[in-house]
Amino acid sequence: MQNERKVKNWIIAISVIIPVAVAVLLFMPAKVDVGSDWVYFLPHLNAVINSAATIALIFGLVFIKKKNIPFHKASMTVAFVLGAIFLVSYVIYHGAAESTSFGGEGWIRPVYYGLLISHILFAAIALFPILFAYYYGYTDQREKHRKLVKFAYPIWLYVTITGVVVYLMISPYYIH
Position 89 in a domain: yes
More confident residue, 39 or 122: 122
Domain with 157, as residue range(s), is: 34-173
Task: Please indicate, yes or no, if residue 148 is contained in any of the structural domains.
Answer: yes
Q: Which amino acid is at 117?
A: I
Helical H segments across the chain, by residue range: 2-27, 42-65, 69-96, 108-138, 142-170
- pTM for the full predicted model: 0.89
Give a yes or no: residue 19 inside a domain.
no
Neighbours of 174 (CB within 10 A): 12
Does 25 map to a domain?
no
Q: How far apart are CA 102 and CA 174, in angstroms?
A: 9
- Counted domains in the chain: 1
Average pLDDT over residues 161-171: 95
- pLDDT tens by residue, 9-60: 999 998 899 888 888 877 777 777 777 788 889 999 999 999 999 999 999 9
Which residue, 87, 86, 61, is CA-closest to 73? Answer: 61
As a whole number of angstroms, the distance between CA 84 and CA 136 comes to 18
What CATH number does the domain containing 131 carry? 1.20.120.80
In a domain, 9, yes or no: no
When pLDDT is cut at 50, 70 and 90, the band that residue 111 belongs to is very high
Residue 48 located in a structural domain = yes
With respect to residue 74, please indicate whether it lies within any of the assigned structural domains.
yes
For residue 21, being part of any structural domain is answered with no
